[in-house]
Structure 1
Amino acid sequence: MSLVDTSWLEKNSDKVKIIDCSWHMPQTKRSGFEEYKKLHIENAIFFDLDKNSKTDVDLPHMLTDVKSWEKILSSMGIKNEDQIVIYDNSDVISSCRCWYNFIYFGHNRNLVHVLDGGLKKWNNEKKPTVNNLTKTINTNYVANEKKELVRNKKQIDENIFISKFKIIDARSRERFEGKILEPRKGLRSGSIKNSFCLPFSELINEDHTFITKKKILEKFKLTKCELDANIVFTCGSGVTASVLALAYSLIDIKYMPIIYDGSWSEYGKTKI
């Protein structure tokens, strides 16, 4: 159950830890934390996708190390046995990246959920919100890193020749096909050789909910990618790749999300 709906969360809010992982593309000039301070679901804890990532690289929100992750979750008051519901107020459905991070660092995937429709749907339904900062009590979170759930550039390059896994890109078709400039400076246009394209936006309704499982399956089939193969997701910087990974987990409950963490922010630096 990767997704929960707003009614479920409203009924079970006292039984779960709620996380606001709103993150916005730099060009939007929006701050997830500033918006959180003005309005959020009661008891939600803010997760800063930029600050809670690897800080010693020039790539955006890469996975941090195990010790840092343990400190982050411990400071948020998260326990290993906690059931987690993550939401966002973002056009790129950034909650899915936080969902992936939890699973990568070993939180029981059956205990990690994304709020379908996020804060947008919650607000549209006039459900209660607050503006006070949520107080937390430090815990002693212990992570269990699953390195098999991430791919690096070397593995991506090798795979072009040995084809051990298939790659699906979540960016727009115009970016994937190199028809427009990349939003981040210093990156060439285009895509990884032999990869497939499924824009994440095609899986999201106007109210920020996911389309039905049947439609998700149809969208994946339209990519012409072998769906029984090992699938790795990529995008611009690892955020919307996680949207595809969550969507795929809805139609294949055994699938564990695998992301090319550097995504085009790293690969697009390559000269051809």
Structure 2
Amino acid sequence: MDALVTTEWLAGELGAGDLRVVDATYLPALPGGPNDDPATDYAAAHIPGAVFMDLADLADTNTDLPSMLPPPEKFASRMQSLGLGDGSRIVLYDNSLYRTAARAWFMLRTFGAHDVAILDGGFAKWQKEGRPVAAGRDQLRHRHFTVWADRSGVRDLNQMKANLDSGAEQVVDARSPARFSGEEPDPRPGTEAGHIPGSKNLPYGTLFNDDGTWKTGEALKAEFVAVGIDLAKPVVTTCGSGITASVLAFGAHLLGNEAAVYDGSWSEWGADRSTPKATGAA
């Protein structure tokens, strides 16, 4: 299964015994942000057979930082309850302006699922094409999901500090230019404005076509190259809380670069008084 699948492909695969479709819509709780309830929206309409992955619940509750990866045992338990198990082909979609299927993709791969794809164009494209939708919640059969984690694709604060000196990894930030430059204050209380020194700014929305589908091939590569990222070299992505950083990581994956994600992102770096902050353009 390709990492990016079309609505036509998914329509033809629905009902396959090993296929699991997942609605990974998430709306981070930010001041001024949308306040829809993704779980309610899922119950009202979703791709037939899809289950709802609650990304708000899939976080580490032992930290004040938002959206940090949960312990492997918690993640495996939640996946089992959704009927996602070892050997499943998993197709993710969302209906979020933050493209949160990419965060679910990053988490699933970190915790041991390998056959994971994102639906190109998401639920919006599926609906626009008049494809069938279902309502309510399906009865789920638990499946075994092995407790496992590979954190080689995850970066923490100490690793990011060390990278300031080594420059071993290119750092690319998915936030808006105004947030990156510090022109716009950070929405999280106690968090300074600006960016990690030496990082590049690639707003995640630039990776998509006007119809909401992913750019691919040379068009996608051009977005990384335009901001000074060499995809032949190591890359680590960052954003506000690790959500849209995953979008950049998925884009890099489509181009053959297995970028890491700084999980704490700016919500950690910007609030830590020991870290240097830069402002202005990259």
Q: Check whether TM > 0.5.
A: yes
Tell me the residue number matched to 1:28: 34
Counterpart of 2:254 (choices 227, 250, 266) is 250
Tell me the residue number matched to 1:77: 83
State the distance in 1 between where 2:179 and 2:45 align: 34
Q: Higher mean Cα deviation, 180-189 or 79-88?
A: 180-189
User: Do residues 197 (structure 1) and 198 (structure 2) align?
Assistant: no
State the distance in 2 between where 1:206 and 1:54 align: 35
State the distance in 2 between where 1:233 and 1:82 align: 27
Q: Which AA in structure 1 matches 2:9?
A: W
Tell me the residue number matched to 2:280: none
User: Do residues 38 (structure 1) and 44 (structure 2) align?
Assistant: yes
Tell me the residue number matched to 2:279: none
Would you say the 8 A contact 2:241–2:266 is kept in 1? yes
State the distance in 2 between where 1:196 and 1:136 align: 43
Structure 1's unaligned 5+ residue stretches are none
Give, in angstroms, the shift of residue 74 of structure 1. Answer: 1.0
Would you say the 8 A contact 2:105–2:116 is kept in 1? yes
State the distance in 2 between where 1:94 and 1:191 align: 22
User: Do residues 8 (structure 1) and 9 (structure 2) align?
Assistant: yes
Distance 1:105 1:257, change over 3 A: farther
Would you say the 8 A contact 2:178–2:184 is kept in 1? yes
User: Do residues 51 (structure 1) and 57 (structure 2) align?
Assistant: yes
- 3-state SS of paired residue (1:14): coil
Distance 1:257 1:32, change over 3 A: farther
Counterpart of 2:268 (choices 247, 262, 266) is 266
Tell me the residue number matched to 1:96: 102
How many residue pairs are counted as aligned between the two chains? 268
Tell me the residue number matched to 2:166: 162
**TM-score between the two structures when normalised by the length of structure 1:** 0.95
Distance 1:91 1:168, change over 3 A: same
Would you say the 8 A contact 2:231–2:252 is kept in 1? no
Distance 1:257 1:103, change over 3 A: farther
Give, in angstroms, the shift of residue 256 of structure 1. Answer: 2.8
**TM-score between the two structures when normalised by the length of structure 2:** 0.92
State the distance in 2 between where 1:172 and 1:213 align: 23
State the distance in 1 between where 2:160 and 2:96 align: 29
Would you say the 8 A contact 1:107–1:144 is kept in 2? no
Distance 1:220 1:184, change over 3 A: same
Q: Which AA in structure 1 matches 2:22?
A: I
Would you say the 8 A contact 2:69–2:107 is kept in 1? yes
Counterpart mapping for 1:37-186 below 5 A: 37-108=43-114, 111-186=115-190
Give, in angstroms, the shift of residue 32 of structure 1. Answer: 0.9
More helix by percentage: 1
State the distance in 1 between where 2:219 and 2:243 align: 22
Structure 2's unaligned 5+ residue stretches are 277-282
State the distance in 2 between where 1:230 and 1:244 align: 13
Give, in angstroms, the shift of residue 127 of structure 1. Answer: 0.6
Runs of 4+ that moved beyond 3 A: none
Give, in angstroms, the shift of residue 257 of structure 1. Answer: 4.0
Q: Which AA in structure 2 matches 1:19?
A: V
- Give me the identity figure in percent: 32
Distance 1:74 1:257, change over 3 A: farther
